[in-house]
Amino acid sequence: MPFEEPAFTLFQERSMSTVNTDNCFGCGKDNPVGLRLNIRHIGDKSHFEFEVKPQYCGYPGVLHGGIFAVLFDEAMFHAIAKSGIEAVTVSMDIEYVSPAFEGHILVCEGEVEKRDGRKIDVIATLTDAASGKLIAKARGRFLEVDLNKVLDRNKRDNDRGV
């Protein structure tokens, strides 16, 4: 059977720029207080596991809602980044379904749902690895940007004292 090009693709494969994310709070390998998530891809989905440790809890033994947001942001960003797209988070909605308890391993996955120009809609889920129970789900909108231009603008603003 001859290989056929897909009729529709969300992204054109390309390589990311040279923006260094080693200090990223979520996935940066050099951030001493970060989560240091080990993100990989399974098909078109980003995928990683996360252990709920005491330092990530709000109520005793229950994962803090802000950590959920970091996990989802990373999963959705990396679902996009797989295709070499540089993007920033515009919005994110989280539906908390069940508590995530200390000592549990969670599985987080994200995938691109659709793209409209520079706008990219992404979905993600967080499940308990042992039971498969859905813990939370999220939807996010990202905007494709040139990160070097964004960072250069920030440097210029800082140099001017803005």
In DSSP terms, which residues pair with 106 in a beta bridge?
A: 50, 128
In a domain, residue 13? The reply is no
The answer to whether residue 137 sits within a structural domain is: yes
Could you tell me which residues are beta bridge partners of residue 105?
Answer: 51
Residue 107: give its domain's CATH number. Answer: 3.10.129.10
Q: Is residue 24 part of a domain?
A: no
Q: Is 134 within a domain?
A: yes
pLDDT tens-digit series, residues 14-23 = 444 556 778 7
Mean pLDDT for 44-58 is 96
Residue 28 falls inside a structural domain: no
For residue 73, with 0-12 CB atoms within 10 Å meaning exposed, 13-18 middle and 19 or more buried, which class applies?
buried
Q: What token pair was written down for 114?
A: 């659709």
Per the structure, how many domains does the chain have? 1
Residue 22 lies in a domain: no
| Domain that residue 81 falls in | 40-159
State pLDDT tens for residues 52-111.
999 999 999 999 999 999 999 999 999 999 988 999 999 999 999 999 999 999 999 999
